[in-house]
Amino acid sequence: MPKVGMEPIRRKSLVEAAISAIHARGSLDITIRDIALRAGVSQGLAHHYFGSKDALIASAMRHLLTEYGRQVRREMKKAHDPRSRVSAIIHASLGSEQFRPETVSVWLVFYVHAQESDEAHALLSVYSRRLRSNLVHGLVPLAGERAHRIAEGIASLIDGLYIRKALGSLAGEIRAEQLVEDYVDRELEVRG
């Protein structure tokens, strides 16, 4: 008899094991068996809960996106005006929580995976749309009709600087968050 209430615990364990396996390998060149061993469950149970490695990988991606969303909401609770709302999103996107080694490895692999997987591409598209939408919401009162263009610039900087910082190619003394904040300030000065 299966233990009642174990499914969510095992699912979470398998998702975390998938993240760990991707980090350890640096790619999606892993098997459901590798993931199941890390989670301490049988390969059959992993298949039972997710059906395939691709479904488990998609769940790991959704998990990271959910964690990122939580971080954005935590930062937004501190925001008291439209400009601080924009800063909250920047901080959530480029703050230290997003740079845990496992998180970085998996995000970089997902960016590549999204080029060949419709589901991964769709998940990254949702992330991109939400990021721009949240930025536009904070920028409209500050920049009017230019809000969409500025939001696209901020989103591009966030994604690009995340990759550069993750790969260690951003000069040590340069803070990614500050570069984006400087861009926002310059763009808003143009309107003022």
Tokens of 42: 């049988």
Cα–Cα dist 102/16, whole Å:
10
Does the structure show a pLDDT above 80 at 141? yes
Q: Which of 71, 114, 117, 77 is nearest to 94 (CA)?
A: 71
- Percent of all residues in the chain with a pLDDT value above 70, rounded to a whole number: 96
Question: What's the pTM value of the predicted model, to 2 decimals?
Answer: 0.87
- Lowest mean pLDDT, pick from 99-113, 142-156, 159-173: 159-173
Q: How confident is the model at residue 158 (pLDDT cuts 50, 70, 90)?
A: very high
Q: In which residue are the tokens 């904040």 written?
A: 181
Q: Which of 144, 148, 149, 162 is nearest to 90 (CA)?
A: 162
- Lowest mean pLDDT, pick from 30-39, 74-83, 93-102, 133-142: 93-102
Q: Map out the domains of the chain with their CATH numbers.
A: 6-191 (1.10.357.10)
Mean pLDDT of the chain: 91
Region 31-56: what's the mean pLDDT? 92
Region 13-38: what's the mean pLDDT? 93
Q: What is the SS3 string spanning the chain?
A: CCCCCHHHHHHHHHHHHHHHHHHHHCCCCCCHHHHHHHHCCCHHHHHHHHCCHHHHHHHHHHHHHHHHHHHHHHHHHCCCCHHHHHHHHHHHHHCHHHHCHHHHHHHHHHHHHCCCCHHHHHHHHHHHHHHHHHHHHHHHHHHHHHHHHHHHHHHHHHHHHHHHHHCCCCCCCCCHHHHHHHHHHHHHHHHC
Cα–Cα dist 147/85, whole Å:
13
Query: What's residue 96's pLDDT?
Result: 85
Does the structure show a pLDDT above 70 at 2? no
Cβ(56)–Cβ(34) below 8 Å: no
Does the structure show a pLDDT above 80 at 190? no
Q: In which residue are the tokens 């910082």 written?
A: 165
Does the structure show a pLDDT above 50 at 177? yes
Region 117-142: what's the mean pLDDT? 95
Does the structure show a pLDDT above 70 at 192? no
Does the structure show a pLDDT above 50 at 1? no
